[in-house]
Amino acid sequence: MSDAPTELNRTKFSDAVSALRIREFRRFWFAGLASNSGGWLQGLASPYIMYEMTESGAWVGGSVFALMLPMAIVGPFAGPMADRLSRRKILLICEVILASIAISNAILWWLGIREPLVYIGVNIIYGVANGYALPAWQSYVADLVPRDFLMNAITLNSTQFNAARAIGPSLGGVVLATTGPGWAFLGNGLSFLVVFGTLLTLPQTLPSPLAGRKDSQLSQFVKGWAYAKTQPTIMTGYFAAACVAVLGGPLVQVHLILFIENVFQVGEFKFGLLMSTYGIGAVMIAPWLASYGTRIRKSRLLVGSLALYGFGELLLSATKIFWVGVAGIFVVGCAHLIMATTTNTTLQLHVPEPVRGRIMAMYLMVFTIGAPLGSIIQGPLADKFGPRSVVTVMGLCFLAATVFFVISGKSSSYDFDDEST
């Protein structure tokens, strides 16, 4: 009997995780898994405590706005900083700050402080630190692997993030139900220290050609934007990210707690399960994308992911049955992994190294502006019309965006020749 099918399966799996053969990237990957799992402990606890204190979708949306808007504000400075300074040093400093903030959240809760504005204030500080960390994190991945491994590394990085999105909320549901949100905040704080320790073992990034330049960070950011406007591939990526951020960003951070309380009417454990299903969907689609993503036109991956987003949101909004809602969130998780990986890889490959930090910072800014904007709008609308109605409209908007990308031909800019850049 032939062993060919077994060998073929081994080869496919080996191809799917090829970047993990690189020791430095492997360490970074596992540290990120620990940190992001902790982050989703807090991602579950934050909307939970805000709804417990206020019973208002508007307040939940406002807390997301307070967390993410500062990330957008510091973007013009964080991107150039990631180009000029050691990305590893930036991450080391940010991990200590983020750990301190998360542990402070735990202490505030244990002290019995139940004032929503206090936690919104903490979210603002957390958002500033995270705004500096994210561009450095995204760009540091490309520093750890050769170009030929980049798409696989980015796919694995997205897989790690979404595996954490499955692990963190599942664990968080148990923590909320048994010990309370304070321990969820503490777990996040400790996870940042894991990353700090790992970063100490990883190499410094090479000095950027921009390191000796005297022009200001804002000036560098403006020049980066001037470059981005001349590149259809980059602008298409930004537009796709804006659709996902404004239409889909509030789904997990605003609407799911409202679905749990007002539609499905289940407890903390199933809240964690529903949130974790997003990550489970992403993790399950990731091996397919890692193995076959390079064989499919990126334009098809882009429009397909937007269509899946719309279908998943419509499935969630059409039901009062918890497990059907779980299926809808699963589909959305698959869609997000495909869209984020495709766009991230396209930008990383298309953009020259000296401006990569700024271009990725602007990409992240689209999310950090779009998601709070969507949250501050959709939260009050959900209070007035109900979360099912709002999510239905967002799903239909995703389908309309899909049609627009196809008819306008904008998605075709993703199909550039990688070797020519």
226-278 pLDDT, tens per residue? 888 888 888 888 889 999 999 998 998 899 999 999 999 998 899 999 989 98
pLDDT of residue 315: 97
State the pTM of this model.
0.79
Q: What pLDDT sits at residue 7?
A: 47
Highest mean pLDDT pick, 134-138, 368-372, 399-403: 399-403
Cβ–Cβ < 8 Å for 135, 364: yes
Least confident of 137-141, 358-362, 390-394: 358-362
The yes-or-no verdict on residue 415 having pLDDT over 80 is no
Which bin fits 267, alpha (ψ -120 to 50), beta or left (φ > 0)? beta
What is the model's pLDDT at position 270? 92
Note the pLDDT of residue 90: 92
pLDDT mean over 21-50: 92
Percent of the chain surpassing pLDDT 70:
91
pLDDT, tens digit, for every residue of 104-161? 999 999 999 999 999 999 999 999 999 899 888 878 888 898 878 887 888 788 778 8
Give the pLDDT of residue 165: 83
Name the residue with tokens 């951020």: 245
Nearest to 265 by CA among 332, 213, 199, 322: 322
* Phi, psi (rounded to 5 degrees) for 117: -65, -30
Q: Indicate the pLDDT class of residue 79, thresholds 50, 70 and 90.
A: confident
> What is the average pLDDT across 87-116?
94
Cα–Cα distance measured from residue 51 to residue 255, given in angstroms and rounded to the nearest whole number: 11
Pick the CATH number of 17-201+218-420 from 1.20.1250.20, 3.90.480.10, 3.30.2390.10, 3.50.50.60: 1.20.1250.20
3-state SS, residue 98: helix
The confidence band for 6, taking pLDDT boundaries of 50, 70 and 90, is very low
Amino acid identity of residue 143, one-letter, is D
**Angstrom distance (rounded) from CA 140 to CA 145:** 9
Residue 2 has pLDDT above 50, yes or no: no
* Per-residue pLDDT, 94: 94
Tell me how many helices (H) and strands (E) the chain has: 16, 0
The tokens for 189 are 């704080």
DSSP 352-372: -HHHHHHHHHHHHHHHHHHHH
Q: How would DSSP label each residue in 1-32?
A: ---HHHHHHHHHHHHHTGGGGSHHHHHHHHHH
Q: Which two tokens stand for residue 6?
A: 């077994």
